[in-house]
Structure 1
Amino acid sequence: MTALLAGFVDDAGLFPPTALPMSEALARHRHDLAVGDPMLTHRFLCPAARIDELRAHLVEDDRIAVGIIASADAPDGALAAAAAAADADPRTQLALVEIACDLADLDPALAAATAYGTPVFVEATERTESPRFAAVLAGRGAGLKIRCGGVRADLFPEPAEVANALVSAAAAGVPVKATAGLHHAVRYRDPATGFVHHGFLNLVVAAARAAAGAGSGPVADVLSSADGAALAAEAAALTPDGATAARRLLVSYGSCSTTTPPTEAADLGLSPSALDTEGQRS
């Protein structure tokens, strides 16, 4: 089996709920770079407004692949300024751009975001518009970003909603990146908040089903599962082509933790370090 989970986890340590201070987030990222866990993309996600803060904390030997996140309420020119700053600094490499907008503003937003020659992912400001965005993004050189949780219950989409986005993206040939709420491998209820979180293993197995042509029903079914053993078995049973198709559709997700995903994948027998990682890094 090819490494379904290799190069899967972006470093979102600056974002809630972990929200590490910049110095701590960078210290952790440097450690991860030194260790080189194959499940990590080794991209450091940073809000556009914090690029100067990031640069102020870098040392001469740093070489950081940066994903710039521009929210829908970012000031005009914030993305361009952040990208220019990252491009001008030899310690940073612009590796990814993520933006949020509504459908009416998609064309100018895409024009700005795609100017840097890096992968671009677009999040719909109205989450239920994600399937429609996927269709509109087809052939336009950008992917779809889907939000799977947040700090409030209403920010967690139902399995059917996530399934519709994945199936639409698969049909349109549009890659997907996920964010927020994916704190563990398998779907679970957080005892502290009561929020039901999607699992990153659920999500990648759902992507495998969607990439293979499954409809929203079977994709939603696997997103609803809390059976880790069954999910791991389905993941392990994927052919190399099936794993590649899954990851062509679902390229990565942002995680506040860079240790929990590899640990839980290993516990389920799915550690990329034990598998063939060739061609799987996103």
Structure 2
Amino acid sequence: MYPSVRFFMERLIDYAGLFPPAELPLGAAIQNYNRYGRDQDSWMLGRFIVPVSRLGELASYKSMFSEDHPLMLSVVGNRSCGDKECLGLLTGSLDRIQTFRNQFQEAVEIDTLELPLPPIPIEAPLLDAVGMGASGAGLRTFCELTYALDPHWEPNMLEALDKIAAHNSVSEAKIGMKLRAGGVTADAFPAPGQIALVLKACRDRNIPMKFTAGLHHPVRMYRHEVNAKMHGFLNVFFAGMLAYAHKLDNKSIAEIIEDENPDNFNFTGDGIRWRNLTVTSAEVQAYRACALSAYGSCSFDEPRDEIRELHKLDQRS
């Protein structure tokens, strides 16, 4: 296996089995996570994603985990309609997280908070409170911007990202951005150009990203279950890394995101390559650490099995 494969895929897939479309019972999802964490592909597995409202239900499964095999969690906060409600819910979420840590002790690691921000103009006091609260609890925060995919989406998104960048420029409590890349219906999928816009905007503003929803498959393809083309996780992460390495514009980034040919996405002894554009292995490792964190998927089997079927993990050129 090339080092670039390891750097690209290591802990890439956060397991979101509790969420649609899988929407498994908690017992089945946590048992899956425990099993995945002990098999040959455990190095690709990231955190177990759990809504903060269901943290307490995990207590029954404490015996499955230990200091040597901890339950690694990313906690999803509650949605809100305004800034006061958002901060009130955040306070409650942080209290629940600390209570759960006290209960599980060394058998749990909670280091990530995924917080939906209300669909309003985002102001500095809200971001300051979110950043300081989460950072004080030892959490890396990725905020989801919940604007509807309508004609106002682009200006709303760019304005909010400007506010996050301004916050990050003066605060040690950095905030990242979480982008929803799909859902269970066709209208939940942003267009390639919309994903490209956010990738470029976050690159230009030095905002780290993670992704959720819709990235079950390595390469973009049409899927009958959603009556739409689903984005590929290779497309999105290759596009992000190439955008950083080559200062690509929106059109060039979108071209990578909408590419449906698996042969164009390659791992090499020196890094990764899409057509004639390359990123070194060292850059792949750096971008994963600082810019392109991970993505949540309600399936672990689909992405790891399908990338293996494409012979990308053992690729030789």
TM-score (norm 1): 0.88
Amino acid at match of 2:136: A
Runs of 5+ consecutive residues of structure 1 not aligned to the other structure: 276-282
Contact 2:65/2:108 (CA < 8 Å) preserved in 1?
no
Contact 2:202/2:208 (CA < 8 Å) preserved in 1?
yes
**Equivalent of 2:77 in 70, 76, 96:** 70
**Post-superposition offset of 1:60:** 6.1
Task: Report which stretch shifted further, 170-179 or 79-88.
Answer: 79-88
Q: Secondary structure at the match of 2:74?
A: strand
Q: Secondary structure at the match of 2:163?
A: helix
Cα separation, 1, equivalents of 2:45 and 2:207: 20
Cα separation, 2, equivalents of 1:36 and 1:43: 17
- In the TM superposition, 1:65-214 aligns within 5 A as 65-73=72-80, 76=89, 77-88=91-102, 89-90=104-105, 91-102=107-118, 103-104=122-123, 105-126=126-147, 128=153, 129-138=156-165, 139=168, 140=171, 141-212=174-245, 213-214=247-248
Q: Secondary structure at the match of 1:46?
A: strand
Cα separation, 2, equivalents of 1:47 and 1:187: 28
**Post-superposition offset of 1:159:** 0.8
**Equivalent of 2:49 in 45, 49, 56:** 45
Amino acid at match of 1:100: P
After superposition, the Cα gap between the structure-2 partners of 1:71 and 1:208, relative to the gap in structure 1 and judged at 3 Å, is same
Cα separation, 1, equivalents of 2:197 and 2:281: 25
Contact 1:205/1:222 (CA < 8 Å) preserved in 2?
yes
CA deviation profile, 1:191-217 (whole Å, cap 9, x unmatched): 133022111010011111211211111
Pair 1:256 & 2:298 matched: yes
**Post-superposition offset of 1:268:** 2.7
Cα separation, 2, equivalents of 1:107 and 1:118: 14
CA deviation profile, 1:46-96 (whole Å, cap 9, x unmatched): 000000112233326442011110032376233123211232122322121
After superposition, the Cα gap between the structure-2 partners of 1:49 and 1:204, relative to the gap in structure 1 and judged at 3 Å, is same
Name the counterpart of 1:278: none
**Post-superposition offset of 1:246:** 3.9
Pair 1:217 & 2:251 matched: yes
Cα separation, 1, equivalents of 2:158 and 2:307: 29
**Post-superposition offset of 1:269:** 3.1
Pair 1:228 & 2:262 matched: yes
Pair 1:17 & 2:33 matched: no
- CA RMSD across the alignment: 2.4
Identity of aligned residues (%): 26
Runs of 5+ consecutive residues of structure 2 not aligned to the other structure: 81-85
**Count of aligned pairs between the two proteins:** 274
Cα separation, 2, equivalents of 1:215 and 1:183: 26
Q: Secondary structure at the match of 2:50?
A: strand
Contact 1:150/1:156 (CA < 8 Å) preserved in 2?
yes
**Post-superposition offset of 1:186:** 0.9
Contact 1:43/1:95 (CA < 8 Å) preserved in 2?
no
Contact 1:46/1:67 (CA < 8 Å) preserved in 2?
yes
**Post-superposition offset of 1:190:** 1.4
Name the counterpart of 2:83: none
Cα separation, 1, equivalents of 2:132 and 2:63: 33
CA deviation profile, 1:93-123 (whole Å, cap 9, x unmatched): 2121110114134333333322212211111
Q: Secondary structure at the match of 2:265?
A: helix
CA deviation profile, 1:115-146 (whole Å, cap 9, x unmatched): 21221111112163444433332324121110
- Larger gyration radius, structure 1 or structure 2: 2
Cα separation, 2, equivalents of 1:130 and 1:242: 27
